[in-house]
Amino acid sequence: MWGGRFDKAPADRARAFTRSFPIDRRMYREDIVASRAHAAMLGRSGLLPQDSVRAIIEGLDGLLEELVACGGPSLTDDEDIHSFVERELTERIGEDGRRLHFARSRNDQVATDFRLYCKGFSLRLADALLDLMEVLVTRAAEEAETVAPGFTHLQVAQPITLGHYFLALTEMHERDLAEVIRAFSAADVCPLGSGALSGVPYDIDREGVAEELGFSQISRNSLDAVADRDFVTVILNACAGLAGHLSRWSEDLVVWASPGYQLIRFDEAYSTGSSMLPQKQNPDIAELTRARAASVLGVAVGWQATLKGVPLAYGLDLQEDKRAVFGVEDDLLVGLSAITGAIATATIDRARMADLARQGYPEAIEIADYLSELGLPFRDAHAAAGRLVRLAESKNVALLGLDDSDFSDVDARLPGEIRNRLDLRGIVDRRSSYGGTAPALVADEANRARQRIDWNRDRLRELVRDGLPQPLRGIIGD
Ligand code: ARG
């Protein structure tokens, strides 16, 4: 590729360290598609004769077809995906293959390829995330009326509906989805035509190339175009945010599946056993989801540390972007799919949910609220309810187990109505301010969340259709 200026070939160990083909061969589709658009542009701009362009395009199309059929390039001795494609092309069509790299550098080429890759990755991720959100919304609708313990500090705080919990997760993941779509937009700028760093000395049709490749914009500054990997930072941060959310609720599930709680049970198909202890059924998928979030975050932070040290424009440090993103993609897509299956099939123990929701006097606030409604200052009402909790604790009964006289000692008006107020189902039913846990609200919100998922699915289809060139589209939802 650059032997003309050198007397020596690279040392084996230098090459082993610097070459990227073992990793970047994964983006062979992107490289071929971008080369195709570049060749067509060279033809339109009069830089290559049409015969050569035709030969190049036919050669690239044939190569792509072959590679797709066999699942991608096998590991050859090539330096990177770019030199692999050029060599394969030249072996097929001869000298015209050697004309392809006119008015292009690997610097603008690799930035283009990887932007295409990250656009596709963001859409694959959005697709998998929508699958998870659909499961969460389904579970929310099923459990709209299930009374469950609501925790703060991992202490039972107030009863909620389990559907409300699942919708809280949907909210988190809707924000993740917005970040993932933003990552698509961040990558959606075409740098091809920037050359090595300063542009090219020809009147080339950059808009046409961008359009053919599904980019909505072209880069404005050639130096920035080849130096910029902020789109990598954006997608890795989106991944770290998503993985962090998955980790957080995975931790809930690990706790909920433990003997002290027994609120849920993972399906056997999504559990693992122990080689020694015959009775064990472990929540390994949730645990691994928790751990993988840490490594995704580590990659995201490591990448930003890499990027901050690279002087403009290009440095080989930037080659590490593929290693970072591909690893995160593998971890996240496999993990997301497994945890989606785990939550879809987990069994919920509704009786245990209700039992635990009663532990620790979570109805005490009802007494304080009722006394406030009767005209007591809330602070005094709070103190009175606290005294009743202490009394119930000393008698070892629930608040409903207190005598009428215990209630009337606090306020003569208390005994009549208060027993109705202490029923858990009534408590959640009354939490009906917008955004509250009332079953009726949860059912409505689940419907609305489902509509938003459907809308996002349509939007995703549009982004695939308008934002990716044909050969890159099939990989969504495969
Ligand atoms: N394999 C390189 C990468 O992934 C391609 C660009 C190499 N450019 C260079 N000037 N060494 O970034």
Mutate which of 110, 113, 116, 118 for ligand 1 pocket (most atoms within 8 A of beta carbon): 110
Could you tell me where the beta strands, DSSP code E, fall in 287-422?
A: 347-348
pTM for the full predicted model:
0.95
Q: Is 310 in the pocket of ligand 1 (CB under 6 A)?
A: no
Q: How far is the CA of 109 from the centre of ligand 1 (A)?
A: 9
Residue 284 lies in a domain: yes
**Residue 173 annotated among the catalytic residues of the structure:** no
Q: Are residues 186 and 91 in the same domain?
A: no
Task: State the amino acid at position 25 in one-letter form.
Answer: R
Q: What's the rounded Cα separation, in Å, for the pair 155 and 149?
A: 9
Taking residue 421's Cβ as centre, other Cβ atoms within 10 Å add up to: 17
Residue 233 lies in a domain: yes
Q: Are residues 111 and 97 in the same domain?
A: no
Confidence band of 477 (pLDDT split at 50, 70, 90): very low
**Residue 274 annotated among the catalytic residues of the structure:** yes
Q: With beta carbons less than 8 A apart as the criterion, state whether 63 and 92 touch.
A: yes
Q: Whose CA is closest to 257, among 282, 285, 289?
A: 282
Q: Is 266 in the pocket of ligand 1 (CB under 6 A)?
A: no
Residue 74 lies in a domain: yes
Q: What's the rounded Cα separation, in Å, for the pair 209 and 215?
A: 9
Instruction: Tell the residue nearest (CA) to atom 7 of ligand 1.
Output: 106
Angle formed by the axes of helices 230-256 and 106-142, to 10°?
30
**DSSP β-ladder status, 155-161 and 189-190:** unpaired
Residue 427 lies in a domain: no
Q: How far is the CA of 452 from the centre of ligand 1 (A)?
A: 41
Q: Whose CA is closest to 40, among 98, 97, 93, 100?
A: 100
153 φψ region: left (φ > 0), alpha (ψ -120 to 50), beta (else): left
Q: Are residues 239 and 333 in the same domain?
A: yes
Percent of the chain with pLDDT over 70: 99
Q: With beta carbons less than 8 A apart as the criterion, state whether 385 and 407 touch.
A: no
CATH number of the domain to which 407 belongs = 1.10.40.30
Question: Is residue 347's pLDDT more than 60?
Answer: yes
CATH number of the domain to which 66 belongs = 1.10.275.10
Number of structural domains the chain divides into = 3
For 6-18, what is the mean pLDDT?
93
Confidence band of 366 (pLDDT split at 50, 70, 90): very high
Q: Are residues 112 and 174 in the same domain?
A: yes
Q: Is 319 in the pocket of ligand 1 (CB under 6 A)?
A: yes
Residue 40 domain boundaries: 19-102
Q: Are residues 56 and 127 in the same domain?
A: no
The 3 state secondary structure assigned to 249-288 is HHHHHHHHCCCCCCCEECCHHHCECCCCCCCCCECHHHHH
Catalytic residue among 198, 216, 258, 274: 274
Catalytic residue among 74, 153, 394, 433: 153
Q: Are residues 213 and 268 in the same domain?
A: yes
Q: Are residues 214 and 326 in the same domain?
A: yes
CATH number of the domain to which 303 belongs = 1.20.200.10
Residue 147 lies in a domain: no
Q: Is 139 in the pocket of ligand 1 (CB under 6 A)?
A: no
Q: What's the rounded Cα separation, in Å, for the pair 313 and 35?
A: 22
Q: Are residues 67 and 29 in the same domain?
A: yes
Cα distances (angstroms) measured from residue 351 to each of 261, 343, 357? 12, 19, 10
pLDDT tens string 123-168: 999 999 999 999 999 999 999 999 999 999 999 999 999 999 999 9
